[in-house]
Structures are given as C-alpha cells and as structure tokens.
C-alpha cells in the first residue's frame, strides 16, 4: 500500500465499500468522522460509568442515620463528587464525615458492562486503524478531524486545581456533566 489521494475507484474494508462517485466519497468521509466521534463517545461512556460506580460505592460507605434514610437521595451530585476526590463522605445536612479507606471491586454485572464498553471501544478503534491502513490522505485527515471533534465534545471536563491532596496537579472531578 502506498500513500494516495484517490477519491473515485477507492475501496475500503470490503468490496461492497467501493467508491464510485464523489458523493459516495464525501459520505464515506463523513462516516469516518462519525465513526471516530463514536469512539470518543465510548471512551467517555466508559469513564462516566466508572465514575458512576465509584459514586455509588462512596454513597454506600456513608453512615446512614434514621433521619437520613428518608433523605438519602438529597445528597447532591457535587457532594458525591467531592467525596470521591477526598477522604470524606457527604451527610444529609451538607457536612462531611471521614470515611474509611476501602477498595472497590465491581460485581459481575457491573464488570460485564465495563467489559462490553471496552470491547466496543476496541472494535471501533480497530476499524479506524484498518481505515488508516489504506493510506488514503483524505480518510486519514477525516480520522484526525473526527478525533479533534470527538475529544472537543466528549473530552471537555472540568478539573480541580490545588486544595487538599492535589499537590499542585490538575485532578479531574468525579462528575463532569453536572458540576
């Protein structure tokens, strides 16, 4: 395979993906961009699912009181996020109490979902790699455009700077979409 700039009569992945017109090539370029966007979405979905599991685990570590059992859903997402990045857990009245250090291991169903997300990421990334191996300049540029747009949309996160335990480094907050 050699580097090329073919638009008409190019063939990708199978004989059924044979480009016969400029419109078909433009559709292929848009499809490649969307495929890379899907990859970035899957990466973000995996991170968010892990954050969800961690927040769920932290909520289970907080010590319930009789008054808090009715209002346990009142802990805000920001409170759970703060607890996930520190060694305290939120209480219903908005204060934080120390939590014991523990390890978390997902159950079988949670791990199956994590593995599914990983497999989907792997499969999509593999197809993108196969497309890049055709050495078509336009397709490779579309992969780069998709990576840029995908990370711009799905990689936009807020960071916690400084504070206890940060040691001058940027630290991602646990909840990204709601903070």
pLDDT score at 157: 84
pLDDT in tens, 138-152: 999 999 999 999 999
pLDDT band for 62, please (50, 70, 90 cuts): confident
pTM for the model: 0.71
Q: Are 141 and 3 in contact (CB under 8 A)?
A: no
Residue that the structure tokens 């916690």 belong to:
160
Mean pLDDT of 145-173: 74
pLDDT score at 176: 46
Mean pLDDT of 66-79: 48
Non-local CB neighbours of 69 within 8 Å, separated by 6+ positions? none
pLDDT band for 104, please (50, 70, 90 cuts): confident
- Given a cut of 50, whether residue 89 has pLDDT beyond it is yes
pLDDT band for 72, please (50, 70, 90 cuts): very low
Question: In three state form, how does the secondary structure of 61-121 look?
Answer: HCCCCCCCCCCHHHCCHHHHHHHHHCCEEECCCCCEEECCCCCCCCCHHHHHHHHHHHHHH
- Given a cut of 60, whether residue 40 has pLDDT beyond it is yes
Q: What are the phi and psi torsion angles at 43 (to 5°)?
A: -60, -45
Q: Are 125 and 150 in contact (CB under 8 A)?
A: no
Partners of 136 in the beta sheet? 4
Domain ranges in the chain? 1-59+105-153
Length of the chain in residues, anyone?
179
pLDDT band for 46, please (50, 70, 90 cuts): very high
């Amino acid at each position: 395979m050699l580097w090329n700039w073919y638009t008409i009569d190019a063939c990708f992945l199978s004989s059924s993906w044979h480009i016969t017109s400029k419109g078909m090539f433009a559709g292929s370029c848009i499809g490649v961009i969307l495929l890379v966007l899907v990859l970035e979405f899957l990466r973000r979905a995996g991170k968010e699912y892990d954050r969800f599991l961690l927040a769920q685990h932290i909520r289970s570590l907080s010590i319930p009181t009789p008054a808090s059992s009715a209002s346990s859903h009142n802990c805000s997402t920001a409170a759970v996020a703060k607890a996930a990045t520190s060694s305290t857990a939120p209480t219903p009245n908005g204060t934080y109490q120390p939590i014991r250090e523990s390890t978390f291991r997902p159950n079988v169903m949670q791990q199956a979902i994590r593995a599914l997300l990983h497999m989907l990421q792997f499969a999509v990334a593999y197809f993108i790699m196969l497309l890049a191996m055709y050495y078509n300049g336009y397709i490779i540029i579309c992969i780069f455009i998709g990576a840029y747009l995908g990370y711009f949309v799905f990689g936009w996160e807020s960071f916690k700077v400084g504070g206890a335990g940060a040691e001058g480094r940027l630290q991602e907050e646990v909840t990204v979409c709601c903070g």
